[in-house]
A and B are shown apart, each in its own frame.
Chain A
C-alpha cells in the first residue's frame, strides 16, 4: 500500500487538494491509519501553534491603533514633504537642501575663514610687510597701496599736528621703522619739555592700537579737525580718498584712554573724541613712516607712498617744490620738517636748509616745522618747480614755568606775550560771543574764589558755550584752554571719575591743537597730574 506524499498530506490539511486527487486521498485515509494519524498530528500541531502564537492585546489596543499609525503617517509625511518637494524641484534647488550641499558649503566657508585669518595675520606683521615691500617694490599692488595710503594719511596727520608745535628734529636713520621706532622718534620730535610730556602722557593713554590703525585714525581725525578749523579742501580730499580707495576709515578707540570730546567741532557721522588722545602719539609715530626724499637709507614708507601716488588720481599731477628754510636772520635751519598738508608728504631740510618735496598740482599748503621755531605755513598756489620757496621760521618765545594757579604763563621774551599782557583773543569775535566770554570769565572768577567743583563745572560749561561760538583759531584755542582749565579745577576740587574723564578729554582736546607756549605747558602738567 502506497502512503500519501507529504504534499498530499499538506494539501489535505490545507484543503488544497486538486479535485482529481481528492477522492483518492480521502479513500486512502479511510484505509490507512498511519496516514490518518499523520494528518491528525498536523491538525493538532496547527491548533497548538494557533494557540501558542496568538495574542490578543484587547479591543482598547486596536481602538487606538489606527490613530497612532495615522499620527506617524502624518509625521512622516510632514518630514518627507520637504524632501519630496526638493526632489520635485530637482536640479540645484534640491541639491542645496541636501546634507552633501551643507557639507560642501561648510567646508568652503572653513577654508575661506582660514585663508582670511592667514591674510589678516600676514598683514598685521609690519616688519615682514616692509621687507616684502622692499623686495617687491612696485610690483606688489594692493597691500602696498593700502599701506601707502596709511603712511600718507599718517604723514598728513603728522604734518598738521606738528604745525603748531613748531618743533621737530631730524632722524632719518629711523625713517623706515614702522611703529616701535616711531615711539623713539616721537621723543625726538617732542623735544620741548611740554611736548614730550604730552607724548608720554598720550602713550600711556593709548598703548594698544596697531600702528597702521593709529595712522589711519589720525589721518581721518586730523582731516576732520582741519576741515573744521581751516582747510575745507582737505576734508573734500579725504572723502575723495575714501571713495577712491573704497576704504572706510574708522576710529580705533583706545582701551585705556577715554573718549576725547572735541567741544569745538562736533563731527557728523562719527563719535566725538576717542582718538584725540592718540593724535599726537600717532602723529609722532607717523613721522617715522613719512617720506624721506633724501634720506640715505631707503624708507619702507617712501616706495609705498610713491606707489600710491602713481595709482591715485588725486595726486597724479605733482609738482616738485624746492626751497630753503631759514631763520629771520637768514641762517639755514637744518632738520626742519617740511610737509605738504594736502598730500601728507614731508621731508626734512638739509644742513643748508634746502629741501625738495612733491606737492600736488593746484592749491596746496607747505608747512615747515622746526624746534624752537613757530610753524610756518606757505600757500602753494599753482606752484611750479621753477619757483624756489623761501621759508622763514620765526623763533618761538621762551617761557618760565607758571605757578599752578597762575592761569597762564608769563613770557619773558619773544614776540608775543600771554596772560594779562596779551591782547584779548576774543577781541575779534562777535558781540554775542564776547558776552558769553564775559559770562564765562565771571563764572570762572567766582569758581576761583570759591574753589568749588560745582562752580568750576559751571565755568566749564560757560567756556564750552563760548567754544561753540568762536570763529577764530586763536580764540578757539583760548576757549578750549579755559574749558580744560575749568574741568581740571573741578576735578581738583572734587576728584571723581566723571570729572577726571572730562578733564582728560578737554585737556587732550586742547593739547592736540594748541601751539607751543605757556598754556600748552600748563595743560601738559595738568594732564600729567591727572594721569597720576
Chain B
C-alpha cells in the first residue's frame, strides 16, 4: 500500500505553499493541510493506541500542536514526517501517562467482519479474528519504539528516510530497530501460538 500515492492524489497546492500560508496565520491553508493528512495521522494514532477514541483525540491534538508549531517548521522539508513525529511523540506521552500499554480495543473485533470478513466461512472468520487478536496483543507487548517503527513502515509505508525524519534518528538506527521489531513480533507470535498448541 502506497500511502504517498494517497497524499499525492490530493489535488491542490504544494505542501510548502500551504505551510507558508499557515505560517502567516492562514487557517484555511492549515485546514487544507489537515484534510490532506488527516487519514494518515489517524492511522498512526490508531495503530499506536488501538482505540478509536484515543486515536481521535491523538490525531486532533497532533494537528493542534502542529498549528502551534507551524511557525518553526522549516519550509522545504517534507511535512508528513513532521506531522507523524508529532503524533508519535503524543503517543509516547500517552503511554507514559498511562504507565501501561493501550487497552485491547473492541473496535477491530466488532467491525472485523465488516472490513475483512468477506468470506462466507464462519470458521475462517473466527480464526482470522483470533489471529488478529493475538497479533494485537503481541504488538502491545513490543516497546513503543518498535511499535512506532513497525507502524510507520507497515501501516504508513514510510521509507527509511521518512522514518529517520519522523523519528529523528539515523537511517541505520531505523533499519536495525525495524529489523529487531519484526523479529521480536515474530518471536512473540510463535511463542503465543506455540503455547496455544
> A65-93: which residues lie under 8 A (CB-CB) from chain B?
65-66, 68-70, 72-74, 76-77, 80
Query: Which residue in chain A gives the minimum CB-CB distance to B47?
Result: A53
> B48-68: which residues lie under 8 A (CB-CB) from chain A?
50, 52, 55-56, 59-60, 63-64, 67-68
Contact of B27 among A48, A54, A70 (CB under 8 A): A70
In the complex, the answer to whether A53 meets B116 with C-beta atoms within 8 Å is no
Return B159 CB to nearest CB of chain A, in Å: 7
Chain B CB within 8 A of A406 CB: no
In the complex, the answer to whether A48 meets B52 with C-beta atoms within 8 Å is no
Number of interface residues of A (CB under 8 A): 35
Chain B residues with CB under 8 A of A80 = 68
> B28-62: which residues lie under 8 A (CB-CB) from chain A?
30-31, 34-35, 38-39, 42-43, 46-47, 50, 52, 55-56, 59-60
Return B59 CB to nearest CB of chain A, in Å: 7
Query: Which residue in chain B gives the minimum CB-CB distance to A15?
Result: B159
Contact of B60 among A50, A55, A72 (CB under 8 A): A72
Contact of A41 among B47, B108, B186 (CB under 8 A): B186
Chain A CB within 8 A of B153 CB: yes
> B145-197: which residues lie under 8 A (CB-CB) from chain A?
150-151, 153-155, 159-160, 175-176, 178-179, 182-183, 185-186, 189
Docked Cα-Cα span, A68 to B38, in Å, equals 11
Contact of A49 among B34, B67, B139 (CB under 8 A): B139
Docked Cα-Cα span, A65 to B64, in Å, equals 12
In the complex, the answer to whether B186 meets A10 with C-beta atoms within 8 Å is no
In the complex, the answer to whether B108 meets A16 with C-beta atoms within 8 Å is no
In the complex, the answer to whether A48 meets B64 with C-beta atoms within 8 Å is no
Chain A residues with CB under 8 A of B52 = 55, 57
Chain B CB within 8 A of A449 CB: no
In the complex, the answer to whether B135 meets A49 with C-beta atoms within 8 Å is yes
Chain B CB within 8 A of A51 CB: yes
In the complex, the answer to whether B63 meets A69 with C-beta atoms within 8 Å is yes
In the complex, the answer to whether A55 meets B46 with C-beta atoms within 8 Å is yes
Return A408 CB to nearest CB of chain B, in Å: 92
In the complex, the answer to whether B38 meets A70 with C-beta atoms within 8 Å is no
B109-127 Cβ-contact flags toward A at 8 Å (1 or 0): 0010001100000000000
Return A88 CB to nearest CB of chain B, in Å: 14
Chain B CB within 8 A of A442 CB: no
> B66-111: which residues lie under 8 A (CB-CB) from chain A?
67-68, 105, 107-108, 111
Return A291 CB to nearest CB of chain B, in Å: 76
Chain A CB within 8 A of B1 CB: yes
Chain B residues with CB under 8 A of A62 = 38-39, 42
Chain B CB within 8 A of A56 CB: yes
Docked Cα-Cα span, A69 to B63, in Å, equals 7
In the complex, the answer to whether A48 meets B135 with C-beta atoms within 8 Å is yes
Query: Which residue in chain A gives the minimum CB-CB distance to B34?
Result: A66
Chain B residues with CB under 8 A of A13 = 182
Docked Cα-Cα span, A41 to B190, in Å, equals 11
Chain A residues with CB under 8 A of B153 = 14, 46
Contact of B107 among A14, A55, A65, A68 (CB under 8 A): A55
Return A222 CB to nearest CB of chain B, in Å: 72
Chain A CB within 8 A of B131 CB: yes
CB contact under 8 A between A54 and B183, given known A62-B39, A73-B27, A76-B68: no
Chain A CB within 8 A of B132 CB: yes
Chain B residues with CB under 8 A of A16 = 159-160, 175
Docked Cα-Cα span, A80 to B31, in Å, equals 19
Docked Cα-Cα span, A149 to B111, in Å, equals 90
In the complex, the answer to whether A50 meets B154 with C-beta atoms within 8 Å is yes
Query: Which residue in chain A gives the minimum CB-CB distance to B136?
Result: A52
In the complex, the answer to whether A54 meets B46 with C-beta atoms within 8 Å is yes
Query: Which residue in chain A gives the minimum CB-CB distance to B68?
Result: A76
In the complex, the answer to whether B150 meets A49 with C-beta atoms within 8 Å is yes
Docked Cα-Cα span, A92 to B63, in Å, equals 33
Query: Which residue in chain A gives the minimum CB-CB distance to B185?
Result: A45
Chain B CB within 8 A of A6 CB: yes
Return B61 CB to nearest CB of chain A, in Å: 8
Most buried by B among A7, A10, A11, A41: A10
CB contact under 8 A between A53 and B39, given known A10-B175, A14-B153: no
Docked Cα-Cα span, A49 to B189, in Å, equals 12
Return B134 CB to nearest CB of chain A, in Å: 9
Chain B residues with CB under 8 A of A73 = 27, 30, 63-64, 67
Return A274 CB to nearest CB of chain B, in Å: 64
B15-32 Cβ-contact flags toward A at 8 Å (1 or 0): 000000000000100110
Chain B CB within 8 A of A95 CB: no
In the complex, the answer to whether B132 meets A65 with C-beta atoms within 8 Å is no
Docked Cα-Cα span, A102 to B59, in Å, equals 35
Docked Cα-Cα span, A69 to B30, in Å, equals 10
Chain A residues with CB under 8 A of B55 = 55
Docked Cα-Cα span, A13 to B1, in Å, equals 13
In the complex, the answer to whether B135 meets A74 with C-beta atoms within 8 Å is no
In the complex, the answer to whether A7 meets B176 with C-beta atoms within 8 Å is yes
Chain B CB within 8 A of A122 CB: no
Contact of A51 among B60, B132, B178 (CB under 8 A): B132
Docked Cα-Cα span, A474 to B160, in Å, equals 114
In the complex, the answer to whether B183 meets A6 with C-beta atoms within 8 Å is yes
Docked Cα-Cα span, A13 to B160, in Å, equals 12
CB contact under 8 A between A45 and B132, given known A62-B39, A72-B64: no
Chain B residues with CB under 8 A of A45 = 182, 185-186, 189
In the complex, the answer to whether A53 meets B182 with C-beta atoms within 8 Å is no
In the complex, the answer to whether A53 meets B136 with C-beta atoms within 8 Å is yes
Query: Which residue in chain B gives the minimum CB-CB distance to A38?
Result: B186
Chain A residues with CB under 8 A of B64 = 69, 72-73, 76
CB contact under 8 A between A10 and B43, given known A56-B115, A65-B34: no
Q: Given contacts A50-B154, A54-B155, list 8 more A-B pairs with CB under 8 A.
A: A14-B160, A45-B186, A49-B135, A50-B155, A52-B136, A61-B56, A62-B39, A70-B31
Which 7 A-B residue pairings sit nearest by Cβ, starting from the closest?
Answer: A52-B132, A66-B34, A53-B47, A69-B63, A52-B135, A6-B179, A66-B35
The contact sample of 11 A-B pairs, CB cut-off 8 A, is A7-B175, A9-B179, A10-B178, A41-B186, A45-B185, A46-B153, A49-B139, A52-B139, A55-B111, A65-B38, A65-B42
